[in-house]
Amino acid sequence: MTASLVHACRDAGVRDGRVLDAVREVDRASFLPRGQRRQATRDAPLPIGEGQTTSQPSLIARMVEALGLTDRDSVLEVGTGSGYQTAILSRLARSVVSVDRHPSLVHTATAALEGLRNVRLVVGDGTLGWPDHAPYDAITVGATGPRVPPALLDQLADGGRLVIPVGPPSRSSLQRWVRHGADIVGPEHLMSVRFVPLIGREGFAEDD
């Protein structure tokens, strides 16, 4: 069933076998609203309510691959959305904290992720990171903002990687930043992408 998504990820250039295995193992349909489930194996973004979309699976896989995760890593995900990417991350890392600003999406994702013991879902403004569990070995952001929120760089552990889209929703730059001690190296431009807006204190204003 998910074989077509694995093919799409390979076609998009994903080579990491652990990432491809995670895409094979996670049932995307269980993270979608009922009316969208028949579309689950299409490598396309799909609506999930609250005006939000779950990203194209091959894009998610490229972002996860760019994080270079090991099973010792702690991860912060900003923008839980459907919880699909959270499930992929939970298979590749030691622990995942995932934050979304929409309580209803967190509620639905909590149900879909039930039983995953290394995942913690929270409601809040992820442009401020999530200091309670910092620092993180990897941070991934699923929505695009006007700039890199400083708190996310602050909350990176030594050697930590941040993968984040920056710029207008219609054409943002997916960037990677890496912390080496007190130094931050970046941005490395990975690709141009479309994303929903990151809305919050260090993101776009609600009515931008």
Interface stretch with ligand SAH, choices 64-72, 89-97, 101-109, 129-137 (CB under 6 A) = 101-109
* Closer residue to ligand SAH, CB minimum distance, 143 or 162: 143
The residues that are catalytic are 55
Give helix then strand counts, H and E, for the chain.
6, 9
65 in contact with ligand SAH (CB under 6 A): no
Q: Among residues 3, 1, 45, which one has the least CA distance to residue 196?
A: 45
Q: Per the omega criterion (within 30 degrees of 0), is the bond before 169 cis?
A: no
Pairing state between β 46-49 and 156-166: unpaired
81 in contact with ligand SAH (CB under 6 A): yes
Q: Residue by residue, what is the 3-state secondary structure of 2-44?
A: CHHHHHHHHHCCCCCHHHHHHHHHCCHHHHCCHHHHHHCCCCC
196 in contact with ligand SAH (CB under 6 A): yes
Interface stretch with ligand SAH, choices 17-25, 111-119, 122-130, 159-167 (CB under 6 A) = 122-130
Q: How far is the CB of 60 from ligand SAH (least distance, A)?
A: 6
176 in contact with ligand SAH (CB under 6 A): no
6 in contact with ligand SAH (CB under 6 A): no
- Residues 128 and 52: their CA atoms lie apart, in Å, by 20
Q: Which two tokens stand for residue 82?
A: 């459907």
Q: Return the residue of 96, 99, 119, 162 that touches ligand SAH, per CB under 6 A.
A: 99
Q: Return the residue of 6, 66, 139, 143 that touches ligand SAH, per CB under 6 A.
A: 143
| DSSP summary character for residue 57 | H
Contacting positions for ligand SAH (CB under 6 A): 52-55, 60, 78-79, 81-82, 84-85, 99-102, 105, 125-127, 142-143, 196, 198-200, 203
